[in-house]
Amino acid sequence: DAKTTQPPSMDCAEGRAANLPCNHSTISGNEYVYWYRQIHSQGPQYIIHGLKNNETNEMASLIITEDRKSSTLILPHATLRDTAVYYCIVRVYSFSGSARQLTFGSGTQLTVLP
């Protein structure tokens, strides 16, 4: 699975959009970009994933550049409860064979400030 690079920490004002960048310059054509977050003392929570098109769900939006070498997770209106470590993970998908693990990087500590 391709390696990802994220800033170690970011701050965001409550109510503003939080934009979390991720670099995955070695991504392959069959690799998805996944985002998870981990709030203190909880397990990782799935947020969103995408291949090459932008994606949106009730939690966030995922913007993937045309060359797929980077992406941005957008939390449109950050709240204090969004304070967490955010992990960007690149993972090969396969419709055959055994399950594959997630390989976590160091992630970004997002702190939402009141």
Partner 1 sequence: DTEVTQTPKHLVMGMTNKKSLKCEQHMGHRAMYWYKQKAKKPPELMFVYSYEKLSINESVPSRFSPECPNSSLLNLHLHALQPEDSALYLCASSQPRDGNQPQHFGDGTRLSIL
Q: Which residues, 40 to 99, sit near partner 1 by CB under 8 A?
A: 41-46, 49, 51, 87, 93-99
- Report the distance separating Cα 92 and Cα 18, nearest Å: 27
- Report the distance separating Cα 19 and Cα 6, nearest Å: 12
Of the ranges 11-19, 38-46, 58-66, 68-76, which one interacts with partner 1 (CB under 8 A)? 38-46
Contact with partner 1 (CB under 8 A) among 4, 18, 24, 34: 34
The phi, psi pair for 95, rounded to 5°, reads -95, 10
Strands 108-113 and 9-13: parallel
Nearer to partner 1, 14 or 38 (CB): 38
Residues forming the site for partner 1 (CB under 8 A): 32, 34, 41-46, 49, 51, 87, 93-107
